[in-house]
């Protein structure tokens, strides 16, 4: 398929997303590439040694080919690239970025090329699999020697006519997708899929997901859909403060509310500012830092795998580890935001591997880190 009007028309033909149903004024201003399978299911999370009253939002099943939490934001980023007739869409993040894999997987179905500006991260099986998938998807990989040089790489990319997403797509024009997620949960509560959650637990990397959820809960409450009693939203940090500070989340949530107000929706900026103050963020599951597997995360992977829940050690395992440890002390019902795609990843051919930048190939040859400390002989996950 090519880009241009044909791709744009087929990208936007279906309007089943909760965001447009509840905020129809947005439709005239933003373009959504129809990628996701909405709504994603909500299921009770039950099993031996799993605390009561837990539920799970299956964002892992959000799209065919590659799902996960980022589908909600890239629908609008790919939509914007199609509208602007951009030839390529870039993502920015670590060598093993899920956002980059999600973008590369779905861009090509709309005839768009993809690129990824990436910086090194601790080697882990989860990150290796993503980097290999980028090669298999013919994504142009532009590696940096260090995250420190990221602003220069970003500056160079932005001088082109390509669409360049911020790391994690943490920008209001994309975060509106998670406002849609909160409206979707409101619909599911009204349909009796689950009782209104008292607590929502979300792993936090770039802050896009949690910021949109916080804003969206306020929109759903304002429209009388659900959340008369606001749930406590708890962010489990997988990247350190200050990237995941409450201030950053609150700022992006307010920016998203402002975007909606400026694009045909109601103005809830002050309500969102107020509610963002009650947000709770914890760094208790971070371990040694971004991308480092933790013993508790690996234990959570093992505990949930028999239930068909495939966690990744960088993000979803840390959130789940915190949840499983603390759930008995949380006010229920508690909803866990399951963010890692459940789909199998493509493997590159020998030629595709050869074409990868040398620094990434060198990184792929490193021994994957097992657990947090060097002496630990845990499994390589
Ligand atoms: C699997 C997974 N979970 C959670 C997150 C965190 O989401 P956000 O960056 O929106 O905070 C990410 C981000 O890339 C992710 O890939």
Q: What is the pLDDT of residues 31-86, one digit of tens each?
A: 999 999 999 999 999 998 999 999 999 999 999 999 999 999 999 999 999 999 99
User: Sign of the C-alpha dihedral, residues 255, 258, 263, 267?
Assistant: positive
* Domain 72-169 coded CATH 3.40.50.1100: yes
The answer to whether 166 touches 87, Cβ cutoff 8 Å, is: no
Residue 263 is predicted with a pLDDT of 96
Is there a shared CATH topology between the 5-69+170-338 domain and the 72-169 domain?
yes
Least-confidence region, from 164-178, 183-197, 367-381? 367-381
Residue 11 is predicted with a pLDDT of 56
Q: Looking at the predicted structure, is the pLDDT value of residue 21 above 70?
A: yes
Angle formed by the axes of helices 71-83 and 172-190, nearest 10°: 130
Residue 370 is predicted with a pLDDT of 58
CA–centroid distance, residue 5 to ligand 1 (Å): 31
Q: Which residues contact 60 (CB under 8 A, 6 or more apart)?
A: 67, 68, 309, 310, 316, 338, 339, 340, 341, 342
Instruction: Give the domain 5-69+170-338 fold.
Output: Rossmann fold (3.40.50)
Q: Looking at the predicted structure, is the pLDDT value of residue 1 above 70?
A: no
Structure tokens of 97?
């970025």
| Spans of all domains in the chain | 5-69+170-338, 72-169
Q: How far is CA 93 from the centre of its chain?
A: 12
Structure tokens of 96?
């093993």
Q: What is the pLDDT of residues 120-154, one digit of tens each?
A: 999 999 999 999 999 999 999 999 999 999 999 99
Is pTM beyond 0.85 here? yes
CA atoms of 105 and 66, how far apart (whole Å): 7
Look-up of token digits 């970003």: 154
- Tell me the pLDDT of the chain averaged across its residues: 93
SS3 136: helix
Which of 58, 92, 168, 249 to probe ligand 1 with, by most ligand atoms within 8 A of CB? 168
Q: Which atom of ligand 1 is nearest to the CA of 178?
A: 10
Ligand 1 pocket residue status of 205, Cβ below 6 Å: yes
Ligand 1 pocket residue status of 333, Cβ below 6 Å: no
Cα pseudo-dihedral 267, 17, 26, 14, rounded to 10: -170
Q: What is the pLDDT of residues 208-226, one digit of tens each?
A: 999 999 999 999 999 999 9
Least-confidence region, from 80-94, 199-213, 358-372? 358-372
Q: Looking at the predicted structure, is the pLDDT value of residue 380 above 90?
A: no
Residue 142 is predicted with a pLDDT of 98
The percentage of residues in the chain with a pLDDT greater than 70, rounded to a whole number, is 92
CA atoms of 233 and 213, how far apart (whole Å): 9
Q: How far is CA 40 from the centre of its chain?
A: 14
Residue 367 is predicted with a pLDDT of 87
Average pLDDT for residues 195-219, to the nearest whole number? 98
Ligand 1 pocket residue status of 207, Cβ below 6 Å: yes
Q: What is the pLDDT of residues 99-120, one digit of tens each?
A: 999 999 999 999 999 999 999 9
Residue 322 is predicted with a pLDDT of 98
Average pLDDT for residues 303-328, to the nearest whole number? 97
Residue 377 is predicted with a pLDDT of 38
Ligand 1 pocket residue status of 319, Cβ below 6 Å: no
In this structure, the strands spanning 140-143 and 232-237 are: unpaired
Ramachandran angles phi, psi of 194, nearest 5°:
-150, 155
Which of 40, 212, 238 to probe ligand 1 with, by most ligand atoms within 8 A of CB? 238
Q: Looking at the predicted structure, is the pLDDT value of residue 376 above 70?
A: no
CA atoms of 95 and 22, how far apart (whole Å): 37
CA–centroid distance, residue 209 to ligand 1 (Å): 7
Ligand 1 pocket residue status of 208, Cβ below 6 Å: yes
Cα pseudo-dihedral 191, 192, 198, 203, rounded to 10: -70
Residue 163: exposure state from Cβ atoms within 10 A (0-12, 13-18, ≥19): buried
Q: Looking at the predicted structure, is the pLDDT value of residue 3 above 90?
A: no
Nearest CA to ligand 1 atom 1: 340
Q: How far is CA 286 from the centre of its chain?
A: 17
Residue 2 is predicted with a pLDDT of 43
SS3 200: strand
CA–centroid distance, residue 4 to ligand 1 (Å): 30
């Amino acid at each position: 398929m090519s880009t241009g009007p044909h791709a744009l028309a087929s990208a936007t033909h279906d309007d089943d997303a909760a965001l447009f149903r509840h905020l129809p004024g947005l439709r005239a201003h933003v373009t959504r590439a129809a990628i996701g399978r909405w709504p994603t299911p909500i299921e009770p999370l039950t099993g031996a040694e799993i605390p009561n009253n837990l539920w799970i939002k299956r964002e892992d099943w959000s799209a065919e080919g590659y799902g996960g939490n980022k589908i909600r934001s890239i629908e609008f980023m790919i939509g914007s690239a199609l509208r602007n007739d951009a030839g390529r869409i870039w993502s920015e993040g670590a060598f093993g970025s899920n956002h980059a894999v999600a973008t590369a997987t779905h861009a090509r179905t709309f005839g768009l090329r993809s690129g990824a500006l990436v910086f090194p991260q601790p080697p882990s099986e989860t990150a290796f699999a993503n980097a290999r998938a980028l090669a298999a998807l013919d994504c142009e990989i532009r590696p940096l020697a260090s995250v420190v040089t990221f602003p220069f790489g970003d500056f160079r990319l932005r001088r082109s006519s390509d669409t360049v997403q911020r790391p994690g797509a943490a920008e209001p024009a994309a975060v509106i997708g998670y406002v849609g997620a909160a409206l979707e949960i409101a619909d599911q509560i009204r349909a009796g899929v689950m009782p209104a959650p008292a607590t929502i637990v979300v792993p936090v990397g770039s802050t896009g997901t949690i910021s949109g959820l916080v804003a969206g809960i306020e929109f759903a409450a304002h429209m009388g859909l659900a959340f008369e009693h606001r749930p406590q939203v708890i962010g489990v940090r997988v990247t350190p403060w200050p990237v995941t500070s409450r201030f950053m989340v609150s700022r992006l949530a307010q920016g998203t509310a402002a975007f909606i107000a400026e694009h045909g929706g109601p103005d809830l900026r002050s309500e969102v500012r107020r509610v963002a103050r009650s947000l709770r963020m914890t760094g208790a599951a971070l371990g040694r830092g971004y991308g480092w597997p933790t013993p508790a995360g690996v234990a959570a992977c093992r505990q949930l795998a028999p239930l068909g829940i495939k966690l990744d050690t960088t993000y979803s395992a840390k959130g789940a580890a915190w949840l499983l440890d603390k759930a008995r002390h949380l006010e229920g019902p508690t909803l866990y935001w399951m963010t890692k795609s459940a789909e199998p990843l493509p493997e590159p051919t020998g030629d595709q591997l050869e074409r990868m930048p040398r620094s990434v190939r060198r990184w792929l040859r490193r021994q994957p880190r097992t657990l947090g400390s060097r002496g630990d002989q845990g499994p390589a996950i």
